[in-house]
Structure 1
Amino acid sequence: MQANDTITLIEAYEAMRIFVETVWRRMDKPQEEVAFLLAGLKWADGSPVDPAMWQSWLASAQSVREEGAGSP
């Protein structure tokens, strides 16, 4: 992917979840807080297990759109 490629909000959300899980596993330590976060981010029946996390994700995406993404 290139820095200016676009993906959907759902794809970006899933990418963020996979990224957090990958970093968590790389640390190779029991991290209860990260495990709790990942559990809420997973998808079930077409939506995240914790709907509040999805709403926070959408608000964050909107903020980035309005304020700009910054530099990679």
Structure 2
Amino acid sequence: MDQHNDSITAAQAYQAMLAFLQREVELTESSDLADLVSEYRLGADGRPADPALWQAWLEAVGKVVQGK
């Protein structure tokens, strides 16, 4: 993936973040990180079980997009 030419949706970015964190769990065997990943997993609807977490994610994405 070319970091300068590709864009992804907020949902795809979230899934990428989860994949990255899961890889880190496997490499480090960190139980704290594993707990975090399990809390952030996506439900059948493609969103985290906690609606507040999804809202916080969208706010974080918005800050990055706006350059803040």
Q: Which runs of 5+ in 1 are unaligned?
A: none
Q: TM-score, normalised by structure 2?
A: 0.82
- Residues 1:13 and 2:14 are matched in the alignment: yes
The two structures have a TM-score, normalised by structure 1, of 0.78
Q: Is the 8 A contact 2:25 2:31 kept in 1?
A: no
Runs of 4+ in 1 over 4 A off after TM superposition: none
**Structure 2 gap segments, 5+ residues each:** none
Partners of 1:67 and 1:20 lie apart in 2 by 23
Matched residue type, 2:26: R
- Flag the 1:36–1:51 CA change in 2: closer, same or farther, 3 A: farther
Aligned-residue identity in percent = 30
